[in-house]
Structure 1
């Protein structure tokens, strides 16, 4: 999510790494331009810590669906397809959220506990702007353990995450999508690939190198990456290049030629052509605007 969300990540105190539990905190302002949220195999819980907002979501090319959310509401995302979202904060209050990823071993263990030892892999319903007192209680306990305790207990935090996974299996199971998991890309692989792309914006695009980072064949990597992001690896690489170029054009005084070189275009005319195709205006017009 650090690669996708425009909000400000909130610094968490140094804590020991916990297997199967990842927590992030964000402070958000209104965002008008939709952001693309990838589809990954792990379920994501988003809990509103403070503030209120109108959050809109849609499938790619679909109709916007709006939810009014406030402190204590949650989102559960386990979608099989990438989607877009945007939001409008209400008032001047900060809109702060906590993201919690639960690893597949936790989910599978909970499914065996609730459904039996031979339970198939499970996925969850997608929930937007709902309230659940047990989820709020468990997330608040996890927040306190990760942030407020001087010496957080991995055992206690893991137990809370296990209880949360059991509750999700009991209350939010999607009975119609148990076969999707094998076709989804794991979040850590998507993160590694995007980091490799970002570090190599000045280099030529290499599908083979990215497939090695993901530890997949080129064919399976291309298919699973597009399923996760809605874009082919090469299209996504160009989008990252243009995002970096827009930043440099607005935030620095570097020449357009230098900006093009930094994002991998030795020909100024080729850079201008790609930039106009992707952004809608030339680099010089974008800087002036």
Structure 2
């Protein structure tokens, strides 16, 4: 999620990118700039930890759906397509949220145990801004483990994650026939690919390396990455570079030449051309207007 949220609208507070249970915590401020939430294989759980806001969501060019939320409310999203989100906080203090991805392995175990789905994947229904004391309690256990320990216990996260998967299977299964496994990139592999892009931002782009780290062919990885993010891997790499450049222009005293070098462009004119294509204005105009 840090790669999809506007830098000026959120503050990462804690995370544990375990391959079975991924936890990310953010403190948000209001943003009218919509952001794309990736479409990965696993459902996304979001708990409002503190504060209040009105959250708007939409897929494609559909109408925005607004949901007022406060601490204790949660979302369960299983969209097979990337979708847009924006929010208006109730106060200047913003609000704190926790995002949790449970691995497909944990969800499969729960489905087999609870609803006998040996050959398929149980469908979970969409939830927007509802309350469930058991979901809240289990997610707050994950929150406490991540925020209270320098190194969160993988065993603890997996135990709580499995209990959460069982509860979701019992209460939020949509009752339809088992579905085929979603042909999408697992969240863990998506985050690993993005981390590789971020650490190599000043280096040449290598699609082969990303595909190899994900254990996939180049064509299969490219297709699933674009399905998850709405951008090809190379387009997403440029997007990351431009977002980093925007942040550097706002928050540092680096010259435009040095900003270009920081994000991997030796030619200031080429950097300015890409930046304008990305933002609609030149780096100099962006810094001056901001």
TM value normalised by structure 2: 0.87
Between stretches 156-165 and 166-175, larger displacement belongs to 156-165
TM alignment of 1:19-30, pairs within 5 A:
20-30=20-30
How far apart are residue 139 of structure 1 and its match?
Answer: 2.8
Between stretches 134-143 and 218-227, larger displacement belongs to 134-143
How far apart are residue 4 of structure 1 and its match?
Answer: 2.6
Q: Structure 2: give runs of 5+ residues left out of the alignment.
A: none
How far apart are residue 257 of structure 1 and its match?
Answer: 2.1
TM alignment of 1:12-23, pairs within 5 A:
20-23=20-23
CA-based RMSD: 2.7
User: Which residue in 2 is equivalent to 1:10?
Assistant: 13
Q: For residues 198 and 263 of structure 1, what CA distance do their matches in structure 2 show?
A: 10
Aligned residues: 285
User: Which residue in 2 is equivalent to 1:178?
Assistant: 179
How far apart are residue 43 of structure 1 and its match?
Answer: 2.1
Q: 1:139 to 1:271 in 2, by over 3 A?
A: closer
TM alignment of 1:8-157, pairs within 5 A:
8-11=11-14, 20-116=20-116, 118-144=118-144
Q: 1:247 to 1:74 in 2, by over 3 A?
A: same
Q: Work out whether residues 73 and 129 of structure 1, in 8 Å CA contact, stay in contact via their aligned partners in 2.
A: yes
How far apart are residue 65 of structure 1 and its match?
Answer: 1.1
TM value normalised by structure 1: 0.87
Q: 1:270 to 1:235 in 2, by over 3 A?
A: same
Q: For residues 246 and 65 of structure 2, what CA distance do their matches in structure 1 show?
A: 30
Q: Work out whether residues 80 and 180 of structure 1, in 8 Å CA contact, stay in contact via their aligned partners in 2.
A: no
